[in-house]
Amino acid sequence: MLGIYVHVPFCERKCIYCAFSSFMNKDTEEENYIRYLIKEIENSYKTYNIEKKQNVDTIYIGGGTPSILKVENVKKILVAIQNNFNVTKDCEITIECNPNSVDYEKLKSYKKLGINRISFGIQSLNDEDLKFLNRLHNKNQAIESIRMAKKAGFENISADLLIGIPNQTVNSFTEQLKKLIELGVKHFSCYMLQIENGTPLENMVKKHQIILPTDDQSVEIYNNCATFLKKLGFNRYEVSNFALDGVESKHNSKYWVGEDYIGFGLSAHSYINKIRSANPNNFEKYYKGEKTFTEKLSKEELIEEHIMLGLRCKYGVDIEYLKNLGYNIEENENLTDFIDKNIIKKDKQRLFLNPDFYGVNNYIILKLLP
Ligand SMILES: C[S@@+](CC[C@H](N)C(=O)[O-])C[C@H]1O[C@@H](n2cnc3c(N)ncnc32)[C@H](O)[C@@H]1O
Ligand code: SF4
């Protein structure tokens, strides 16, 4: 079934590591943006050549910082989606929230709007880390935001954490996981800090102003995180994602399985009927309805994408699907070796990467491409 992503490209302040599409012009641009967003939602059946009122079982409002929007604008977005799509009763509706930009009233309003999943950008529970990252919240606000979300009735709460911050240790990372689990977090996205082009972090690294953990140290923290979470019943269903039973993100799983989704808003990508397209990362161009690209994926691209996504998550790679696209992966010499070494597991129809090797998935994926 179709999933919908809505991008909110506003932040109060930029974090030093972030290259996502977000700008600090909410005060002047919010109303305009919402107007065009709704127009885009209303026109989408023409843009993507699909039937009106398609069934939708996941909606993900991401950013940027969706929680800095006025609640009435979040409502307008959801109403526009409901008017133009058939939102299923059990639809997973997520909103990304920064801990400093929510309060109890706002969270209760989200609940009333039918939002049933909160993804908090916690990043770290250490005040020094948070300052270094240029976050606007501190440890206490992070903790309080989760408590408020629980009190407002949210059961499905996720936390984003970063691995690879200076001075982070296996112990400090485990302690914050413990605290978050105690607070009721049921899902974690633990991302290895990436040095993105053009970010202040990249500049600091180039000028040797900071010392980041080595790759080996970060992998050690990541591996320990996985072991610790596993003991507590968290299933690693994608390289960076861990969930208790029943709360795996249905929306993000669509990306990994290759299901259709439409992305609305600045810089949002869509994948529908094997056609990928992207909106511009520029307000004027977006308001004009331009697309950065629209391309039908070739067989080669479909093969590559299926292997790259499938081996990063528990859903695996469908051997028959690849055969139909012209690639018999079972003839790849490296595969036998990986199976013998228990790096790849095989059942009748699918191949799975042994989660112990998620940390080096890129190397294995490269070896299995046509
Ligand atoms: C685009 S943000 C939106 C969420 C929200 N604005 C926040 O930051 O709290 C989604 C997540 O991407 C992750 N992220 C952003 N930049 C990253 C980077 N350079 N390396 C690793 N993870 C990154 C952060 O963990 C963040 O929570
Ligand atoms: S990490 Fe989140 S809050 Fe920070 S700049 Fe990126 S989108 Fe904004």
In the predicted structure, residue 123 carries a pLDDT above the cut 90: yes
Q: Which atom in ligand 1 lies closest to the alpha carbon of residue 63?
A: 3
The response to whether residue 182 sits with its C-beta less than 6 Å from ligand 1 reads: no
Alpha-carbon 150 to chain mean position: 22
Ligand nearest to the CA of 136: 2
Beta bridge partners of 63: 8
Lowest mean per-residue pLDDT among 22-36, 189-203, 236-250, 349-363:
349-363
Question: How many other CB atoms are there within 10 angstroms of residue 66's CB atom?
Answer: 26
Edge-to-edge strand ranges of the sheet holding 350-353? 317-318, 350-353, 344-346
**From the CB of 134, is ligand 1 less than 6 Å away?**
no
Predicted confidence at residue 60, as pLDDT, reads: 98
Question: What is the pLDDT confidence band of residue 359, given thresholds at 50, 70 and 90?
Answer: confident
Which residue's CA is the closest to the ligand 2 atom numbered 4?
15
Contact 316, 355 (CB under 8 A): no
Q: What CATH class has 299-370?
A: mainly alpha
Q: Closest ligand 1 atom, CA of 18?
A: 16
* pLDDT at position 195: 96
**Ligand 1 centre and the CA of 94: distance in Å?**
15
At residue 276, the pLDDT reads 96
Averaged confidence pLDDT in the chain: 96
Of 7, 10, 15, 96, the one to substitute when testing ligand 2's pocket (max ligand atoms within 8 A of C-beta) is: 15
* pLDDT for residue 348: 87
Instruction: Please compute the mean of the pLDDT values over residues 155-177 and round it to a whole number.
Output: 97
Burial class, 234, CB count within 10 angstroms (exposed 0-12 / middle 13-18 / buried 19+): buried
Distance CA 257, CA 300 (A): 17
Between the CA of 222 and the centroid of ligand 2 the distance, in Å, is: 22
Summarize pLDDT for 78-114 with one digit per residue, the tens.
999 999 999 999 999 999 999 999 999 999 999 999 9
Cα four-point dihedral sign 271, 276, 281, 283: negative
What's the 213 CA to ligand 2 centre distance in angstroms?
22
Model confidence band, residue 360 (pLDDT cutoffs 50, 70, 90): confident
> Which pLDDT score is estimated for 32?
98
Strand 241-243 to 235-238 pairing: antiparallel
pLDDT band at 351 (very low <50, low <70, confident <90, very high): very high
Contact 57, 92 (CB under 8 A): yes
The H-or-E segment that residue 96 falls in is: strand 86-97
Cβ of 121 below 6 Å from ligand 1? yes
What separation in Å is there between the alpha carbon of 44 and the centre of ligand 2? 27
Q: Residue 279's pLDDT band (boundaries 50, 70, 90)? A: very high
Question: Which tens digit of pLDDT belongs to each residue from 128-148?
Answer: 999 999 999 999 999 999 999
pLDDT digits (tens, 9 = 90+) for 302-326: 999 999 999 999 999 999 999 999 9
Position 264 pLDDT exceeds 90: yes
Question: Is the confidence at residue 214, as pLDDT, over 90?
Answer: yes
- The answer to whether the CB of 309 falls within 8 A of the CB of 255 is yes
Tell whether ligand 1 has an atom less than 6 A from the beta carbon of residue 123. Answer: yes
Output the CA 339–ligand 1 centroid distance in Å: 34
| Closest ligand relative to 123 C-alpha | 1
Within 13 Å, how many C-alpha atoms sit on residue 159's CB side? Answer: 26
Higher-pLDDT residue of 297 and 360 is 297
Superfamily of domain 2-256 in CATH is tm_1862 like domain (3.80.30.20)
pLDDT of residue 151: 98
* Nearest atom (ligand 2) to Cα of 136: 3
- Taking residues 27-42, report their average pLDDT: 97
Instruction: Tell how far the Cα of 296 is from the centroid of ligand 2, in angstroms.
Output: 31
Q: Is 194 in the pocket of ligand 1 (CB under 6 A)?
A: yes
pLDDT digits (tens, 9 = 90+) for 223-260: 999 999 999 999 999 999 999 999 999 999 999 999 99
- Report domain extents, the chain: 2-256, 299-370
